[in-house]
């Protein structure tokens, strides 16, 4: 059988371990959390509130400007749900292949109130597991 002191050592080790874990989690939560927003939610926020945000939306076919050599794009990000709210996004960097109008994208960056533009430092298009959009549209028509 194990000695009594054993349990004490395990408990101390566990406390140290949980302390380290807790510290890392709390510091991570305070420093690395980002607003995850749809366009309409972002527009409803106060200006100062989303200087670090991840936005979800669709690329509008209107006013889509690509930088030469696919090294950037300026486009209107449309809310996926209401399809009305729009936020201008400016992105410099490699544009993914799957980027085109009407595709769902996720941009991460800051809002620049002076230019009224969301300056994205990353742009990802959704990984197309399937072309589900058509079937989803069909489902919606069926009600």
Binding site for other proteins (CB under 8 A): 1-2, 6-7, 9-10, 13-14, 17, 21, 24-25, 27-29, 31-37, 41, 45, 54, 56, 68-71, 93-98, 100, 104, 106, 108, 124, 126-132, 134-136
Residue 84 Cβ, how far from other proteins at the closest point, in Å? 19
Contact between 70 and 95 under an 8 Å Cβ cutoff? The reply is: yes
Of 88, 98, 81, which is closest to residue 120 (Cα–Cα)?
Answer: 88
Output the six-digit token pair for 136: 């989803």
Specify burial of residue 132 (Cβ count, 10 A radius: 0-12, 13-18, 19+): exposed
Residue 62 Cβ, how far from other proteins at the closest point, in Å? 17
64 vs 106, beta carbon nearer other proteins: 106
Residue 36 Cβ, how far from other proteins at the closest point, in Å? 4
Output the six-digit token pair for 7: 């349990």
């Amino acid at each position: 059988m194990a000695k009594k002191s054993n349990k004490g050592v395990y408990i101390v080790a566990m406390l140290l371990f949980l302390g380290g874990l807790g510290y890392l989690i709390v510091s991570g939560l305070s420093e690395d959390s980002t607003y995850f927003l749809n366009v309409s939610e972002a527009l409803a926020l106060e200006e100062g509130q989303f200087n670090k945000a991840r936005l979800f939306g669709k690329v509008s076919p209107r006013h889509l400007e690509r930088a030469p050599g696919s090294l950037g794009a300026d486009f209107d990000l449309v809310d996926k749900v209401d399809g009305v709210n729009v936020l201008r996004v400016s992105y410099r960097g490699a544009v993914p292949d799957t980027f085109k109008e009407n595709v769902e994208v996720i941009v991460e960056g800051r809002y620049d109130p002076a230019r009224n533009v969301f300056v994205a430092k990353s742009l990802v298009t959704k990984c197309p597991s399937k072309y589900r959009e058509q079937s989803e549209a069909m489902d919606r028509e069926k009600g």
